[in-house]
């Protein structure tokens, strides 16, 4: 993991929760608005949904239906 990865994660989550492009650009110290526009298109909800589904599938394979107390 690099610092740049953390910056992109922060920018992505800021965009997902509704921060404006100008605010994200200021926080990330971008010199141009074009560098920040990528964060306008990020939608975290579908990502979260598929991560949850994948996690459930992994746990079902690992522990079967006997997952009491794991959720």
Tell me the two tokens of residue 41: 């298109």
67 φ/ψ angles, rounded to the nearest 5 degrees:
-110, 25
> Is-contact 39 13, C-beta < 8 A?
no
The pLDDT averaged over each successive group of 10 residues in the chain (71 residues) is 88 87 94 88 76 90 72 57
Output the pLDDT for position 67: 62
pTM of this prediction?
0.56
């Amino acid at each position: 993991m690099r610092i740049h990865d953390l910056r992109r994660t922060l920018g992505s989550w800021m965009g997902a929760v509704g921060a404006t492009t100008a605010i994200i650009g200021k926080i990330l110290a971008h010199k141009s608005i074009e560098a920040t526009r990528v964060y306008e298109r990020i939608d975290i909800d579908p990502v979260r949904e598929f991560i949850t589904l994948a996690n459930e599938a992994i746990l079902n394979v690992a522990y079967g239906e006997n997952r009491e107390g794991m959720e």
